[in-house]
Structure 1
Amino acid sequence: MEDARRHYLDLIRTDGVPLSPALAQAFATVPREVFVPDGFLARDGRRVLPADPEFLPTVYSNDVLVTKLSEGRPVSSSSQPSLMAIMIGALDPRPGMRILEIGAGTGYNAALLAALGATVTTVDVQPDVAARARSALARAGVSGVRVETADGYTAAFAGDPERYDRIIVTVGVAGVSPHWLDRLEPGGRIIVPVEHGGTHPVLDVREQGAATVVCPAGFMSASGPLTARRRHSHPEPVLGMEGLTGSRPSCWRPPLEALAYRDLWYAAGAWHHRVTQAARPDRQQSCLAVLDESGESGAVVLADGAILASGAERDRYAAIGAALADRWDALERPPMSAWDVELAPSGPLWTPYRWTLRHRRAEDSPQPAEDSPQPAEDSPQPAEDGPRAA
């Protein structure tokens, strides 16, 4: 087991994630297997049980462990450890801090936070998920974690301490609940995966609704008000786009690596509200897509800069996809961490409405051609009073 956990830390670091000594110690000592006592679903759909030979090697791999399905869709899991490490690092928990976690999952993430000296309240809307997390935390001997069954939007329950130094969200949402902002201590932060272009990049949000981008991610979506859509929401991901044919050949050698492709994807989503993700039957991973108004056609931008398109407006959407890719390339391929994001009230949530590249004025950026995406400054505008003050 000691060797397995040492290898576990190496796998997390191999994914490019720096681990502080305290966080490395937490990952090395909190027993992840205790939090999946009923096993989990392998990527091929099989249930892996504790007695199976692949159980422990998979538990101590850098992989997500899906623990519950509803109508064939994952609704609870233990997240990928390297992503957990990035989010916890961004959260910057300190001993004695009070942390609210939205989405209890297996309880493993809360246990890691407790190992870092925080007092954690974790809530989950699913009573069975909350009960299993509570049991697992007890079996692991973890103190300092309270598990509540509650709606994540309000996170209201009896005996709520009301104010928190940090809030971490482990489920994909469309924006930030105003209830979270109201309960954040001065100087606090919310680490939250917010829908953008069909994925859930993680944001670091402060009290005034100002945010920076932490990393790319894809999460199971929440339910209720936390997934409320608005006029300029990106389209939902699509399973496929029929009739795609080449519109522009490959122009980047070598093709973008996975993280750089996500950087392009993020910029595209900031510049155009029809950006989402589309699965392609000939590729394992989903692609950056710009959907036309039918929601079934449009253009796909590949990692080598090639453009595929389909539908009645294929030429127009191919031009939009090319303009997105070329604009990002001309700006020297900024990483998603270079974006500042402003949030403002929109319906039941605070949602992103303006994106600005740090150290570059948008009016100094290369301008897109006609019919191409609008610059970030043309994004949906906030309510009249704008983002509220601290």
Structure 2
Amino acid sequence: MTLPLNRLQDFPHPEDVARFNMIEQQIRPWNVDDSVVLSTLARVKREHFVPEAYKSLAFTDVEIPLVAEHELLSRPDAYMVSPKIEARTLNDLKVQAHERVLEIGAGSGYMAALLGALGKEVVSLEIAPDLAKLAQANLSRASVRNVSVVQANGATDIPTGGFDVIVLSGSVVEVPPALLAALNEGGRLMACVGQEPVMRMTLIKKVQGKFQVTTPWDFNLPRLQGFPEPSAFEF
């Protein structure tokens, strides 16, 4: 929802002012102009998916840890990405109300909640047991009913039935063929693909049985667990 600046004083809670500023000052400048996406960001309460220790950072342009600080080195993907990344991804995917969505990497459950608000059904795969429980608990408290969180490896344990939208909430060296095979006709997949220092947000569309690939923007994300890495050796 887009509101004129003179409506700020009408917001009943400080969180609503912070959410408005997040959308107007962080997200819109990142080429996010889909009114449905913007209204969804205004409606789904991001602060409900942020760990208590980091509530004050819920609307800031930073990555938010989901595990204790001493665990982050070994679990670099255990965090919430900044709001602009979530928003730009949704803006590019154009999720429709009738569509079935697969998310790889549930994290806190916030992205799944946004996808659930836009689509018909969401399956979110999370390889880490503690994060799977966290996401499910957050979604339950937020009364999100059309999202199911499954503890599974998103590289190999792909549900049957086909999906209209697939989102990888982290980076991979390449998109596995099994995920491409799970795309329905007309479906879209968004993933951060590549290796440091250069990764590209990659949008893949299935059109008449063929895959159309574009790289609309660059951004580096931590690796998703369970996906293969290239060999460090050359022969």
Normalised by the shorter chain, which TM-score bucket?
Answer: 0.7 to 0.9
Change over 3 Å in CA distance of 1:200–1:155 after alignment to 2:
farther
Q: Is structure 2 residue 11 aligned with structure 1 residue 9?
A: no
Runs of 5+ in structure 1 lacking a partner? 40-47, 234-390
TM-score, length basis structure 1: 0.51
Task: Judge conservation of contact 1:169–1:191 (CA < 8 Å) in 2.
Answer: yes
Q: Which amino acid aligns with 1:155?
A: D
Q: Give 2:58's aligned residue.
A: 59
- Which residue in the other structure is 1:101 paired with? 103
Matched, 1:124 2:126: yes
Partner Cα separation in structure 1 for residue 233 and residue 214 of structure 2: 20
Greater helix fraction, Structure 1 or Structure 2: 2
Aligned-pair Cα RMSD in Å: 2.2
Q: Which residue of 1 aligns with 2:79?
A: 77
Where in structure 2 are there 5+ consecutive unaligned residues? Answer: 1-14
| SS of 2:170 mapped into structure 1 | coil
Q: Pick from 147, 150, 153: which aligns with 1:151?
A: 153
User: Is the Cα contact below 8 Å between 2:169 and 2:224 reproduced in 1?
Assistant: no
Match of 1:24 among 21, 25, 38: 38
Instruction: Select the structure of larger CA radius of gyration.
Output: 1
For these two proteins, the number of residue pairs brought into alignment is: 214
1:331 is matched with: none
Shift of 1:137: 0.5
Deviations 1:230-274 (A, max 9, x none): 6899xxxxxxxxxxxxxxxxxxxxxxxxxxxxxxxxxxxxxxxxx
Quick one: distance in 1 between partners of 2:72 and 2:231? 26
TM-score normalised to structure 2 length: 0.83
| Other structure's SS at 1:201 match | strand
Distance 1:129 1:197, change over 3 A: closer
* CA deviation vs aligned residue, 1:72-117 (integer Å, no higher than 9, x gap): 3433111111111111111110002001001111110111111113
Q: 1:139-167: per-residue Cα shift (whole Å, max 9, x none)?
A: 111121110000010233xxx34210111
Give the Cα separation in 2 of the matches to 1:198 and 1:31.
33
Distance in 2 of aligned mates of 1:186 and 1:14: 30
Moved over 6 A (4+): none
Match of 1:179 in 2: 178
Counterpart contact for 1:17–1:85, Cα < 8 Å: no
Find the counterpart in structure 1 of residue 201 from structure 2. Answer: 202
| 1:228 aligned partner, one-letter code | E
Question: Shift of the alpha carbon at 1:71?
Answer: 5.9
